[in-house]
Amino acid sequence: MNVINDLLKIIGDFIAGIINSIFSFSPFLADVVTMGLAAVILCTFAALSFMGLTYVERKVVARIQDRVGPNQAGPLGLLQPLADGIKMFTKEDTTPAAADRWVYNLAPLVIAVFALTTYAVLPFAPGVVGTNLNVGVFYIIAIGSGSIVAIIMAGWGSNNKYALLGAFRTVAQLVGYEVPMLLNVLPVVMIAGSMGLTDIITQQTTLNGNPGIPFIVFFPLSALVFLISGIAETARSPFDLLEAESEIVAGFHVEYSGMKFALFFLGEYVNALAVAFVFSTLFLGGYAGPVLPPYIWLLLKAAAVFFVFMWLRGTLPRIRVDQMHNMNWKFLVPVSIVHLVVVMALMKLFVTNPAQVQANGGILVTPGVQAAILFTASIAILIGSLVIAARRARIMRLQEEAVLEQRRAENIAAVSV
C-alpha cells in the first residue's frame, strides 16, 4: 500500500477505526457517527473551497481584464475571503414586510443544502467517496432540481416583481439546459455500462484490462455540450442572465442581504465546483492518472476545468435571453439527439467485447479504433451542425438587415418630405 497515494483512505480508515472502538457497544451508532463526521468534512471542504474560489476567481478575472483585483486585505489580498465572511456575518439582513416569511427564509437554506449534498457521491480517490451510488450521475443531475425549487421559493417569497421575474427566467434557463446535460451524459453511461461515478472512472483507468482512454476522446462533442450546459446550469457568465442589473435588478435574490445572500452565493459556487468535478470525472478520467497521487490529479483536473469557467467569465459578454433559449432548444438539443443516435448506431456496429460480437453480431475492434471512429463521427457532427447553424444565422441576419434598411429608407423619405 503506497502511503502517499492512499493518504486520504488511510486517514479515513484510521478515524473510522477510532470511532468504531469508541462506539463498540453499538455498530449502528458507530456507523451514524462515522457518516456524520464524513458529511461534516465534505461540507467543510465545500465551504472552504467556496471561500478560496471567490478570491481566486476575482484575481484571475481581474488579471484577464488587466486589473489588479483584491489586494488590500492581507498580503496579495489573501485575507479577502475572511474579510468578506466577517462582513457577511455582521451585516444586517432584512426581511421585507411584504415577504412570505417562511418561504423567504427557507430558500437560501434549501439551495445551500442541495448544493452541498451533491458532494456525497463524488469520488476523490480510490475508496474515498461519500457513498458509491449505482445511480451516481443521475443523482447529481436530479439533486440539481433542489436548487430550482429554492430559486422559485426565493422569487415568490420575496414578493417582489423583479425577484419573481428573475426567478422565472432563471428557472426557464435551468430546466432548459438540463436537457442537453442529460442527453450528453448518456453516451458516457452507455460506454461505461454503469451510472456509478467510481465505475465510470474505473473504465478510464488502465487497471483490469481497461484501455485507459479518457471519455473525452470518445465523445468530444458530448464533453463540449456538457461543459456549456454545466455553465448554464450554474448560471455563470455568459449565462448569468439572472444578474442582468439593467433589466431585472439582480434577479431572484434582490431582496436578500447578509448571510442569506451569502448562502445563495455559496450555493452558486459549490454547484459550479461540483460541475467541474463531475466533468473531470465523466470525461477526463477523474482521479486516474500516472505518478501523482489520485486526489491531486482530481484537484488538478477540476481546477483546470474551473479555470476555463473563469476564463469564459472574464472574456465573454452576457448573452440575451432569446439567444440563450435559441442556443439551447434550437442548437444544443437537436445536435445532442443526432449525436446520441449516431453514437448508438456506431457503438452497436463496432464492438470491443468479443462475447457481445458472438451474441449480437457487429464488428470486433480494439478500444483505440472504436475511440477513433467515435471521435471522427463527433467532430463531423460538430462541424456539420456549426456550418448549418452559421448558414441559417447568416440568412436570418441578412433578412433582419434588409428590414432595417427598408425602415431607414422610409424614415429618410418621411423626413425629407
Partner 1 sequence: MRTDFAFVGVMLVTAALLMGVTLIAASLLRPKKPSKAKLETYECGMETVGDTWVQFRVQYYILALVFVLFDIEAILLFPIAVAFNSLSFFAVANVILFIVVLLIALLYAWRKGALDWE
Partner 2 sequence: MTIQQVLFIVIALAVLGAAIFVVTTRNLFRAALMMIAAFFGIAGLFVLLDAGLFAVAQVLIYIGAISILVIFAVMLTRGMQGMVPRNSQATAAAVTVAVVFAVLLLLFGPLRLTLDLARWPVISLFAANVSPRDVGGIEWTPPGQAIPAVPDTYIADFGRSLVDLNQYLLPFLLIAFLVDVVLAGAIFIARQRRPAEIVEDRQRQAEEETEEAEAMRRAGVLPGAASLPEGAVASASDH
Binding stretches for partner 2 (CB under 8 A): 28, 100, 103, 133-135, 138-139, 141-146, 148-149, 152-153, 156, 168, 171, 175, 178, 193, 195
Binding mask 339-358 for partner 1 (x = CB under 8 A): -xx--xx-xx--x-x--x--
Min. distance of Cβ 25 from partner 2 in angstroms?
16
**Pick 97 or 413: Cβ nearer partner 2:** 97
Min. distance of Cβ 253 from partner 2 in angstroms?
18
Closest CA to 226 of 325, 351, 339, 318: 339
Number of H helices, E strands in the chain: 16, 4
Question: Among partner 2, partner 1, none, what does residue 245 contact (CB within 5–8 Å per kind)?
Answer: none
- Greatest alpha-carbon span in the chain: 98
**Pick 154 or 288: Cβ nearer partner 2:** 154
387 binds partner 1, rule: CB under 8 A: no
261 binds partner 1, rule: CB under 8 A: no
**Pick 104 or 297: Cβ nearer partner 2:** 104
120 binds partner 1, rule: CB under 8 A: yes
Question: Among partner 1, partner 2, none, what does residue 341 contact (CB within 5–8 Å per kind)?
Answer: partner 1
Min. distance of Cβ 377 from partner 1 in angstroms?
15
Point out which residues pair with 123 in neighbouring strands: 129
From 2-10, 293-301, 317-325, 374-382, give the range in contact with partner 1 by CB under 8 A: 317-325
**Pick 134 or 411: Cβ nearer partner 2:** 134
- Under DSSP, the state recorded for 212 is -
Binding mask 226-255 for partner 1 (x = CB under 8 A): -----------------------x----xx
Distance, CA of 172 to chain centre: 17
20 binds partner 1, rule: CB under 8 A: no
d(CA 43, CA 146): 17
Number of Cα atoms under 13 Å in the Cβ half of residue 284: 23
Tell me the three cell numbers of residue 331.
Answer: 442548437
From 158-166, 214-222, 369-377, 387-395, give the range in contact with partner 1 by CB under 8 A: 158-166
Tell me the three cell numbers of residue 212.
Answer: 485507459
Min. distance of Cβ 120 from partner 1 in angstroms?
4
412 binds partner 1, rule: CB under 8 A: no
* Residue choice 24, 26, 65, 131 for contact with partner 1 (CB under 8 A): 131
DSSP 72-109: SSSGGGTTHHHHHHHHHHHS-----TTS-HHHHHHHHH
Question: Among partner 1, partner 2, none, what does residue 200 contact (CB within 5–8 Å per kind)?
Answer: none
d(CA 100, CA 316): 37
d(CA 209, CA 84): 50
By CB under 8 A, what part of segment 60-89 binds partner 1?
Answer: 88-89
Tell me the three cell numbers of residue 283.
Answer: 470525461
164 binds partner 1, rule: CB under 8 A: yes
Residue 315, SS3 per DSSP = helix
d(CA 329, CA 335): 10
d(CA 256, CA 235): 18
Peptide bond into 238 cis (omega under 30): yes
Min. distance of Cβ 98 from partner 1 in angstroms?
5
Residue 270 near residue 43 (C-beta atoms within 8 A): no
**Pick 191 or 288: Cβ nearer partner 1:** 191
292 binds partner 1, rule: CB under 8 A: no
